[in-house]
Structure 1
Amino acid sequence: MDEELILLNPGPACTSRAVKNALLRGDLCHREPEFAELLTSLRDAVPRAVGLGNTHESILLTGSGTAAMEAAVISAVRRDKAILVVNNGVYGDRLAKIARANGITAHEVSPSGDGLARWTTPIDPDAVRTALREHPDIDAVAVVHHETTTGMINPIKAIGEVVAETDAVYVIDSISGMGNEDQDLAEVQGDILCGSANKGLHGLPGLSFLMCSDKGIARLSEVPARSLYLNAASYLSAQRKGEVPFTPAVQVCYALDEALEEYEAAGGFAARTHLYRERAELVRSSFARLGLRILIEQPHRGNSVTTLHLPDGVSYPSLHDELKSHGYVIYAGQGGLSTEYFRICTLGEIPWHRLEQLGDALEQSIKAARS
């Protein structure tokens, strides 16, 4: 990968040569028994990889992580009921927008304060408890595990303890946190968890999934079908028989199969989270040396996304273009952060020495962008 661009954006993430080569396993009709075997294998391997093999059943979807988010939201709320959304970033806001676009009432809870405070503060679980008391129509609670907007971690375990006291199902968008952030998902009492083949699992984009507890599965059968393509109950019924309701991305399934084999061969969850902690420590030491200010305070930072204040006198486009000439692709801030912040994300397959070289590349790029 020395000659390749290193993607330091929050997805799509870089992948190994073996994962890319898995696309070449050949063409396969999804109605053949060989695909049924692959589908069954993946449905077992995904929850097993993240510690949910004994408690959750997976549903594979052809689509980006947002497809999983939409399938989760519309399949979790019964008729004439509502959803409570934790909104402290772009992806929390997306969950609320998905609900409203599908005619579902969405109550929201956000951290107190104005401006940046709403996007840099994890939600207080007591605020969720209060909202549940105030809105008896809440049928599901949805939260983002790792807000890719800023690189902030929400307290999904503590929120899960609150939701477990009610009949509501607990929906977690763990798309950029699953498999690479420290929280053991077996501890959080999630009922419907959203994940992606790319990002922390190092597969290719285009395949996402839901992982459902018994409570989550029971809810799927009680919810009206709000979508033809994203109705989770239809997928579950078909996939339990080794079938799919629509044409899947077969070759992307091959790539996920390879990525999961690499994940488990390297030591699974413990090894992957250790790697990501080491990566974060390495690159953030370079940021400190260069005087770059990190947006999220230490106790709340994830291990894969770092949001940084742009250096004085440096615009994002100029910094992006200079770093790209050194072989690195960074990402702009989102929403109100776009003019003052940028993001560096250490997701996917990245050679260690390329991360070691990042600090010098940043330093040179900042100087060039100012000239």
Structure 2
Amino acid sequence: MIDHARPALVLLNPGPANTSERVRGALTRGDLCHRESEFGDLLGVIRAGLVETLHLADSHEAVVISGSGTAAVEMSLLSAVRPGRSVLVLDNGVYGARIRRMCELHGLPVHVVEADWRQPIDPARVADALAAHPDVDAVAAVMHETSSGLVNPVREIGGIVAATDAVLVVDAISATGHEEPDLPEIRADFVCGTANKGLHGLPGASFSLVSRDKGLARLRDVPARGVYLDMSGHLAAQRVGDVLHTPAIPAYYALDEAIREFREQGGYPARVADYRARAAVLRAGLDRLGLELPIAPPHRSNSVTTARLPEGVSYQRLHDALKERGFVVYAAQGALSSEFFRVSNMGHLSLETLERFVSELADVLSATHTRQVRTGPSSPGERS
């Protein structure tokens, strides 16, 4: 049951993130028909704002759709691979595995470079795989593997792919606006993002930024493989201020406001610095509490931290105790799910809020330890 009287929660999950009153207020701009010129104007401002804000205005064009980031990734994959060709998927986490599953469901032949979920993809293995499989038409990589908080070496991977005829599809869903390197350095042909993570918008709008050289050429060569996820159709419509289907207009209002807010706060350099500072506060606090962080420092993102659950403490118990104190943390995923939990510093947050979270976490862990000492170990039938 939803408790509407409950105070607002601090969302330390990796999206949807807390948003500012300004962004939430954009939802009340008013009703609008998507076939009117006013919506076409709004869409044009958003498309231009995305590529300008993310430093890709000279090289990419934006395609915006209503849906989660997964929709943008799937749309890009279906538009990047010519008939009879294959995809090289780089898989070291839940979202790499999801891309692999997408390809399999759509009948796209797949080759895979896998790595342990706590390790980055080795660019040398990507080069070897491309040499071994000349049929590869697209390489699909996750920039920030949200399931672990690891950033893959996409700059190096991009340089390797750029020297071939293949295109590079990058899932930058939880990286756009705050992770490094800056997007132009990656040389990706399809950059997939969403409104409700590092851009501080709301769920419902996602996008793919398509390179004007290899990306647009590929769109011309690939037939539509769906109705809703037809990127060529979306792009043709959006260039003239139209859309193929009914969009989530309130989410577009919020994205427009979030982009404006992003720029006014200093743009990409300022958000990177802000997120770095947030992550440093958070990780210093977790370290003081003796919690193991499984991702090595050089590979950690600016926005998600994975930590090992203390012995005898289940994720659900930790989650529920913190939620009672006003904070929402997130379960780890896949291979890490039984031993770890995640804390994100995305969204409209302050350093003081993160310091308060660390203090509340310390109290929760202290109380848990006291109960364990008082009651002894759990019985075999008791869930910890």
TM-score by length of 2: 0.93
Determine the structure 1 residue equivalent to 2:146: 148
Q: CA deviation at 1:22?
A: 0.4
Among 18, 43, 46, the residue aligned to 1:42: 46
Tell me how far apart the structure 1 counterparts of residues 167 and 74 of structure 2 sit (CA, whole Å): 15
Give the whole-Å Cα distance in 2 for the aligned partners of 1:91 and 1:368.
35
Aligned-pair CA distance for 1:326: 1.1
Shift of 1:73: 0.7
Partner-residue secondary structure (3-state), 1:120: coil
Match of 1:115 in 2: none
Shift of 1:66: 0.4
SS of match in other structure, 2:221: coil
Structure-1 residue corresponding to 2:200: 202
Deviations 1:108-143 (A, max 9, x none): 0013xxxxxx10111111101111111111000010
**3-state DSSP of counterpart to 1:198:** coil
Are the aligned partners of 1:315 and 1:369 in contact in 2 as well (CA < 8 Å)? no
Cα displacement (A) at 1:3 = 4.2
- Residue 80 of structure 1 is aligned with which of 77, 81, 84? 84
CA RMSD of aligned residues (A): 1.0
**What is the one-letter code of the residue matched to 1:246?**
H
Q: Are 2:30 and 1:26 equivalent residues in the alignment?
A: yes
In structure 1, what residue type is equivalent to 2:324?
A: S
Shift of 1:239: 0.4
Is the 8 Å Cα contact of residues 318 and 369 (structure 1) preserved in structure 2? no
Alpha-carbon distance in 2 for matches of 1:221, 1:326? 53
Residues 260-279 of structure 1 correspond to what in structure 2 (within 5 A)?
A: 260-279=259-278
Cα deviation digits, residues 43-69 of structure 1 (max 9, x gap): 000011111111110000100000011
| Aligned-partner residue type, residue 30 of structure 2 | G
CA distance in 1, matches of 2:260, 2:163: 37
Which aligned segments of 4 or more residues in structure 1 are displaced greater than 2 angstroms? 367-370
Indicate whether 1:95 and 2:93 are aligned: no
Letter in 1 for 2:134: P
Query: Which residue matches 1:159?
Result: 157
- The CA deviation string for residues 148-207 of structure 1, in whole angstroms up to 9 with x for no partner, is 010001000100110011100010000101101121111111000100011000000110
Letter in structure 1 aligned against 2:187:
Q
Contact 2:47–2:62, Cα closer than 8 Å, also in 1: yes
Instruction: State the distance in 1 between where 2:89 and 2:59 align.
Output: 24
1:120 matched to 2:118: yes
Are positions 1:309 and 2:308 aligned together?
yes
In the TM superposition, 1:323-342 aligns within 5 A as 323-342=322-341
Structure 2's unaligned 5+ residue stretches are 1-5, 372-384
Whole-angstrom distance in 2 between the partners of 1:250 and 1:186: 29
Residues 309-366 of structure 1: per-residue CA shift (max 9 Å, x gap): 0011211111001111111000111112111100001111113321111111001111
Look at both structures and tell me which one has the larger radius of gyration over its CA atoms: 2
How far apart are the structure 1 equivalents of 2:133 and 2:308? 38
Report the AA paired with residue 24 of structure 2. Answer: K
SS of the counterpart of 1:218? Answer: helix
CA drift at 1:369: 3.3
Give the conservation status (yes or no) of the 8 Å contact 1:6–1:329: yes
Q: SS in structure 2 opposite 1:323? A: helix
Distance 1:369 1:168 in 2: 53
Q: Is the 8 A contact 1:322 1:368 kept in 2?
A: no
Alignment check: 8 A CA contact 1:64 1:205 kept: yes
TM-score (norm 1): 0.97
Structure 1 alignment gaps of length 5 or more: 112-117
What aligned pairs does 1:275-286 form with structure 2 within 5 A after superposition? 275-286=274-285
The whole-number CA distance in structure 1 between the counterparts of 2:325 and 2:367 is 12
Shift, 1:88, TM fit: 0.4
| Letter of the 1:278 counterpart | A
Amino acid at match of 2:362: E
Query: How much has 1:305 moved relative to structure 2?
Result: 0.5
